[in-house]
Chains A and B, each alone.
Chain A
Amino acid sequence: MSSLRNAVYRRAHKERAQPHSRKKFGLLEKHKDYALRAQAFHKKEEALRKLKEKAAFRNPDEFYFKMIKTKTVDGIHRPESEANKYSQEELMLMKTQDIGYVLQKLQSEKKKIEKLRSMLHSLDNQPPNKHVYYAEDREEAEEISARTLEKVKSATSEGIPKKIKRKLAASYRELEDRSKRAAELEKLYMDMALQKELQKKGKKRKLREDEIVCPTARPVYKWRTERKR
């Protein structure tokens, strides 16, 4: 039956559209849309009404601590400041814990560098030291200087396989990376230690450049001497 009904020609139902002249108001509002809009409006209306009612029946003696802890500035609510959330001691502890971690990492890095240095002697490079020869007379001195001139350092890493050369290069690279990291950690640790010291009690001030006795790149602080009883 239904299939037959489907077969009969039915005129498509057309919704009424916004007239051309009123195009600027957007789509034509239907009852469904109106219902939604009305509901939203009434909700707001109700909320306003309730608030007005509350304000009208307000107890003038009502007090909450939040009223003095926080404020509205130009009608905008300022939340409670987080600055003094932790006590001085707690802050100190937190900072020192970080410092401890950095120090631990620094020390482990230093240990690793030492271990690497003990087995990487840079044999192919000329050492940066001084070599002095002692001669009895002029002849011997000339002989020695001639000998040292002809003693050209022969690179020892000539006949070794490529695989080993690669390993060697990797080892040296690791050493370099680690020393770089250690230097960074050291700097970080120094900064943190300075911050920690600066948090301690006592009047202090940063020395001007011309006041520093032994010049360094880092800032120098001086505490005012305080008589202890």
Chain B
Amino acid sequence: MKGGSRVVIEPHRHDGVFVAKGKEDALVTKNLAIGESVYGEKRVSVQNEDGTKVEYRIWNPFRSKLAAAILGGVDNIWITPGSKVLYLGAASGTTVSHVSDIVGPNGVVYAVEFSHRSGRDLVNMAKKRTNVIPIIEDARHPAKYRMLVSMVDVIFSDVAQPDQARILALNASYFLKIGGHFVISIKANCIDSTVPAEAVFAQEVKKLQADQFKPSEQVTLEPFERDHACVVGGYRMPKKQKVPAS
């Protein structure tokens, strides 16, 4: 190849996420729908040694809280190739498209969105990605879409509602497997704008713990979002075996 490639792609700490270095220095995911941009993001294609081309899409952390959390250095996102993900608050499907890139053709993403307007974009995006199942329903009533969703490994929740912990618990009780994981993004202003953000996060974590969730870590999303946090943890985790002290 003349002059070497212009971009170097390296795998990220998280499975299915990559890092592109070139003119850009960005988080990328392997594009499942080649030649398609979902929200006008840049794509980079790289030629392998055997001459096949792989296309990656740049993941904008200013538009996706999951990307912001990854850049914030979260230890585990639990969304891996082949996993089944329930995505609450999918909006137009910007992050969903990247999650669908990560889980790959063997995984499934159930994307729940209430608004018809942004649901339209979501459905259009899902037309090109076979592993995304769009559900235009209220996430407060999981019974309405229980026929569509199987048991999932991970629930990602970005609903920005005051009762988002309850919504997450409700959906987890329906669809999340025992020992599954959750990732929830919390916008402090949406829950209580009168108290400091830190207090809101602590309060939400308390609520989650009351609902059989076991939060393991929390990252704030600076500098991409203000007063946002991403909490990651497990659901109905098995009790830890006490090591007998001897």
Q: Which listed residue (B24, B26, B215, B218) contacts A131, Cβ 8 A?
A: B218
CB contact list, A96-136 vs B, under 8 A = 114, 117-124, 126-134, 136
Q: Of A134, A157, A163, A164, which one neighbours B205 at CB under 8 angstroms?
A: A134
B21, B25, B219: which has the most chain A beta carbons within 10 Å? B25
Quick check: is B8 within 8 A (CB to CB) of the other chain? yes
Q: Among the interface residues A117, A121, A167, which one has the most CB atoms of the partner chain B within 10 A?
A: A121
Decide yes or no: A164 and B7 within 8 Å by CB, A118-B60, A157-B21 being known contacts: yes
B217 and A134 within 8 A (CB): yes
Known: A127-B73, A128-B223. A133 touches B216 (CB 8 A): yes
Contact assessment for B25 and A134 in the assembled complex, using a CB-CB cutoff below 8 Å: no
Size of the B side of the interface (Cβ < 8 Å), in residues, is: 38
Q: CA–CA, A168 to B60, complex, Å?
A: 17
Q: A164 and B219: CB pair below 8 A?
A: no
Tell whether B62 is near chain A: CB-to-CB under 8 Å: yes
In the bound complex, residues from chain A placing their C-beta under 8 Å from that of B217 are: 131-134
- Please report which residues of chain B, range 169-205, place their CB below 8 angstroms from some CB of chain A when the two chains form the complex: 205
Give min CB distance, B71 to chain A, whole Å. 6
Given A118-B62, A130-B220, A164 contacting B41 (CB threshold 8 A): no
- A130 to B227: give the CA distance in the assembly, Å: 11
Most A CB contacts (10 A, CB to CB) among B61, B217, B233 go to B217
Task: Answer yes or no: A7 CB below 8 A from chain B CBs.
Answer: no
Minimum Cβ distance to chain B for residue A155 (Å): 11
Asked whether A119 and B223 contact (CB < 8 A) given A129-B72, A131-B218, the answer is no
Question: What is the bound-complex CA distance between A136 and B7, given in angstroms?
Answer: 44
A-B contact pairs, 6 of them (CB 8 A): A118-B61, A119-B26, A132-B218, A134-B217, A156-B21, A161-B8
Measured CB to CB, the residues of A under 8 A from B are 114, 117-124, 126-134, 136, 156-157, 160-161, 163-164, 167-168, 170-172
Given contacts A121-B71, A164-B22, A170-B23, 14 further A-B contacts (CB under 8 A): A120-B26, A123-B71, A127-B71, A129-B222, A130-B219, A131-B72, A131-B218, A132-B217, A132-B219, A167-B22, A168-B23, A171-B23, A171-B25, A172-B25
